[in-house]
Structure 1
Amino acid sequence: MEPLILIANPGSASRKYALYQGTTSRADIHFEFEDGKIICGIETADEHFSLTTDLADLTAASSQVVTLLRDKQVLSDDETIESIGLRFVAPGSYFAQDHIVDDEFEAKLQATLPRAPLHISATLAELKELRRQFADTTIVGVSDSAFHRTKPDYALNYGLPLEDTDAFEIKRYGYHGLSIMSVVQILTAADKLPSKVIIAHLGSGASVSAILDGKSVDNSMGYSPLEGLIMSTRSGTIDATVASVLRNVLNLDDSGLETYLNKKSGLLGLGGSDDIRELLTREKDGDKRAKLALDTYAYSVQKSIAQ
C-alpha cells in the first residue's frame, strides 16, 4: 500500500489541502471566507461537497481535515496520514530549499517573521497547528522559491549596494515556484515544453515566470510576493518614493504600510473589489472604476510578459 500524504498550502485568505496516496490524488480540501463564514469544499474523483464550518478563523482549519475526510468516507478509520508537505513562502537563502520541519526550522521562520510578517504569519500559524495535530508525523517544508534558484545573478539582485543586500540577504528570490515547476513537469511529460516559455500564475497572488530549457531565469515577484504584477489586494511594484509619501500623508507605521500595500491595494484598491468575477460583471454594466481596475491589471500582466 502506497503511503498517504497530506499537502498543506496556507494562504492569507484561504487554506488548501490535498490528500494523496503515493502520486494519486484522493481529495482536495479548500477553506475560505464567504459572507463572513468559513466554507469548506471537498472534491474527490467522484463527488464534490460544500459545507459551512463553525471555525472562527483559518488557523484551526487543519484540525478539521482528518475528521472531514473520515466523515465523507475518503479516509477510513484504520488509515493514517504518514507524512505532510507544507508549502512555505519566506525570503532568504535558507528558505530557498526544502527542509524537514523541526524546532530549528520553526525558530528560523519565527526569526524571519519581522521581514515579511503578512506572508510568513499564515505559514507559521499553520506550521504550529500541524505540529500540534500531527505530533508524530514527519512534516516536510516545501520551498515556494526553490525552483527559482537557477535565476542568473543579474535577475536576482536589486540596484542596491551589494554589500548590504548580501549581508541581509535582500534578493529577488521569486515565488510561485511550485506552481511553475508543476507546469514545466506537465509540459515535459507531454513532450510539449519549448526551449523558451513564459508561464503566468494568475490567482489572488499573481506572477509571470520566464523559463529557459526547463529552468527559471526570472520571476516577477521579488524579495516578497508583493513585488511584480497588480494582484487581488496587493499593489505590485511601485516607486519606493510612493511608499514613503503614503507613510507620511496617511500617518502609517511599518505594519500599517505593509497592510495598506498587501491588503488594501491591487484590484480592491482600484476597483473596490478583490473578486475579479464581480469586477467583470460591473464592467459589463458600464462601471468605469471596475473597467479601470481590470484594464490596469491586464496591462501589468502584458507589461511583465513583454519584459
Structure 2
Amino acid sequence: MTKVMAINSGSSSLKFKLFIMPQEEVITEGAIERIGSDEAVFSYKYNGKTSQTMPIKDHQAAVHLLLDTLTEQNIIESYDDISGVGHRISHGGTYYQDATLIDEQVEQHIDELSTLSPLHNPVNLIGIRSFKAVLPHAKQVAIFDTSFHQTIPEEFHMYALPYKYYVNYGIRRYGFHGPSHQYVSEEAKKINPAASKVITCHVGSGGSIAAIKDGKSINTSMGFTPLAGLVMGTRTGDLDPQILPFIQEQEGLNSQEIKDLMNKESGLLGLSGISNDYRDVEEAADAGNKQAEMALTVFARRIIQYVGSYAADLNGLDTLVFTAGVGEHSDRLRKAVCDSLTYLGVKIDEAKNATDSLSIEAADSKVKVLVIPTDEEVIIARDVIRIAAL
C-alpha cells in the first residue's frame, strides 16, 4: 500500500488528491485558494467537508499547512507516509514524451518552457520546489499535459513555417489537457467497448478537443501553446495571425501587452464584456443580453467546427465525449453542439441531457454521446507509481 499525492499548482492555488495506490482509493482531496492573501481558503474532504479562511503567505506555506493538517487529522501518521508526489506540468516541449522523475535538469527545462506556457509552467515549478523542500524523501514526478499527444502524426503537428523553425526551436503542435483526454477516452472505451473513433471535448475555462483513434491521440486543438483552438475563458483560441501586428501597431502595444491581450483579456470575457465564467455569460444571455448571446454562440460554433474537422481526420465518429466544468455541467452547450452534428448521426435525448446523464444519446443516434467527469489526478497517480517504480 503506497500513498501518492497528485498536485495541480496554479498561480494562487494548490489542488490536491491523496491516493492509496495501486487501489486508486482517494483518501482526501481539496484545494488551497487565494494563496498570498490574508483571506486564503483551505478546503478538503475527509469525513465530511472542512473549509477555513486564513492568511497563507506563499506556496511553501500552503504545502506545510496541507501536510500538517493531514498529520493532525491522522490522515497520515507522518510526512514519511507519502512516497511520491505527481505534479501536473503544462508544457514538456520536445524534451518529454512521457512522465519523468524530477531532477535539476527537468526543473531547468520546465523553467525554460515557461515562454511557451506562461500562465502555467512557472507556477507548476513553484509547486515542485515547495514539495521538494518539505518532502525530500518522496519521489517527485512530472506529468506533462503534452505527453499524451506525442502520438499525433507529422501531417497534423507540423506548421507551414520554414522548416528551420521546427528544427531550431521545436515549433510544432504539442496539445494540452493530455491527462484529461487520456482518462475520458479510456473510460469511454469501458462504457462503449466498440469505441474506436472518439472525439473528446474538454470544455472549461481552458478548452481543447482531441481526435483519438484506437486509444491514441492523432490531433488536438491546442497547438504550440495552450492559446490555440477553442474560444476559452480569457484566451482567443484561433485567429488570423495578421491581426496581432495590426493591433500592436494601431494601439502602440509591446509584445508582453499583446500576450496579455490574447491570454488574459479575450475569449468569453472579451467577447461578452461580462465575465470569463460561462455561467455568468449564460445568465446574462438568459436575461436578454445580446452580446452575451453572441459570445455563447461563437463559443459553441468553434467546438462544432473542430468536431467536424476531427471526424474527417478519423474518417468517421462513433463516440463523442464531453468533460470538464462546462462540458460536464452545461446542457445548453452540449445541445448547441450536438444539434449541429446531425449530419454525423449525432442525436441526443434532451431529457437525459438536461440531467447531465452519463450517456445522453437518443436511442436512434448513430454516435454514442457521453458526459464523463474527468479525473486527471488518477492519471497522475498512476504515472507516479509507474515512473517511480513504487
Q: TM-score, normalised by structure 2?
A: 0.72
What is aligned with 2:130? Answer: 129
Contact kept, 8 Å, 1:187 with 1:193, in 2: the verdict is no
Query: Secondary structure of 2:233's match?
Result: coil
Paired with 2:281 and 2:59, the residues of 1 have a C-alpha distance of 26
Q: 1:121 to 1:200 in 2, by over 3 A?
A: same
Q: 1:277 aligns with which of 264, 276, 279?
A: 279
> 1:8 aligned to 2:10?
no
Quick one: distance in 2 between partners of 1:287 and 1:83?
Answer: 49
Superposition deviation, residue 115 in structure 1: 3.7
- The answer to whether 1:174 aligns with 2:178 is no
1:249 aligns to what? 250
**Equivalents in 2 of 1:287, 1:133: separation in Å?**
50
Higher deviation after alignment, 231-240 or 183-192:
183-192
Aligned residue identity for 1:81: I
Contact 2:60 2:131 in 1 (8 A): no
The alignment covers a number of residue pairs equal to 304
Which residue does 1:220 correspond to in 2?
A: 221
Shift of 1:207: 0.4
Contact map agreement 2:101 2:139 (CA 8 A) in 1: yes
Alignment of 1:22-101 (within 5 A): 22=21, 23-33=24-34, 37-44=39-46, 46-56=47-57, 60-77=61-78, 80-101=81-102
Tell me the equivalent position of 2:160: 159
* Partner Cα distance (1:292, 1:56) in 2: 41
Corresponding residue SS for 1:27: strand
Q: Please list the CA deviations of residues 229-281 of structure 1 after superposition, one character each: whole Å capped at 9, or x if unmatched.
A: 01111111111111112222232222222121111111111122011121122
**Unaligned runs of at least 5 residues, structure 2:** 310-390
- Tell me if structure 2 keeps the 8 A contact 1:91–1:223: no
Aligned-partner Cα distance in 2 for 1:301–1:91:
25
User: Which residue of structure 2 lines up, in the alignment, with residue 268 of structure 1?
Assistant: 269
Residue of structure 1 in register with 2:291 after alignment: 289
Q: Which position in structure 1 is the counterpart of 2:140?
A: 139
Q: CA deviation at 1:62?
A: 2.9
Whole-angstrom distance in 1 between the partners of 2:206 and 2:194: 24
Q: Could you say what secondary structure the match of 2:282 adopts?
A: helix
Equivalent residue, structure 2, for 1:303: 305
Distance in 2, Cα, partners of 1:285 & 1:13: 32
Change (3 A) 1:196 1:135: same
Structure-1 separation of matches of 2:302 and 2:10: 23
2:149 maps to 148
% same residue: 28
Moved more, 224-233 or 163-172: 163-172
Counterpart CA distance in 1 for 2:300 and 2:103 is 41
Greater CA deviation, 63-72 or 191-200?
Answer: 63-72
Q: Which stretch of the first structure deviates more once superposed, 106-115 or 221-230?
A: 106-115
Secondary structure at 1:211's aligned position in 2? strand
Letter paired with 1:55:
I
CA contact under 8 A between 1:15 and 1:30: conserved in structure 2? Answer: yes
Give the 3 Å change call, closer, same or farther, for CA 202–63 of structure 1 in structure 2: farther
Q: Compared with structure 1, are the counterparts of its residues 201 and 85 closer, same or farther at alpha carbon in structure 2 (3 Å cutoff)?
A: same
> In 2 relative to 1, CA 210–143 (structure 1 residues): closer, same or farther, beyond 3 Å?
same
Task: Give distance in 1, aligned partners of 2:283 and 2:171.
Answer: 40
State the secondary structure of the residue aligned to 1:240: coil
RCO (CA 8 Å, sep 6+): is it higher in 1 or 2? 2
Alpha-carbon displacement from aligned partner over 1:128-181 (angstroms, at most 9, x marks no partner): 222222222210001111111111111111111122212210110111111111
- Specify the alignment match of 1:19 in structure 2: 18
Q: CA RMSD in A?
A: 2.2
Q: Give yes or no for contact 1:91–1:224 (8 Å, CA) kept in 2.
A: no
Shift of 1:111: 2.4
Distance verdict in 2 for CA 1:211–1:250, change over 3 Å? same
Question: 1:78–1:178: structure 2 CA closer, same or farther, 3 Å change rule?
Answer: closer
**Alignment correspondent of 1:237:** 238
1:47 deviation in Å?
2.0
Q: Which has the larger radius of gyration?
A: 2
Unaligned runs of 5+ in 1: none
Higher mean C-alpha displacement, 160-169 vs 223-232: 160-169
Counterpart of 1:205, as a letter, is: G
User: Structure 2 CA distance, aligned partners of 1:253 and 1:78?
Assistant: 47
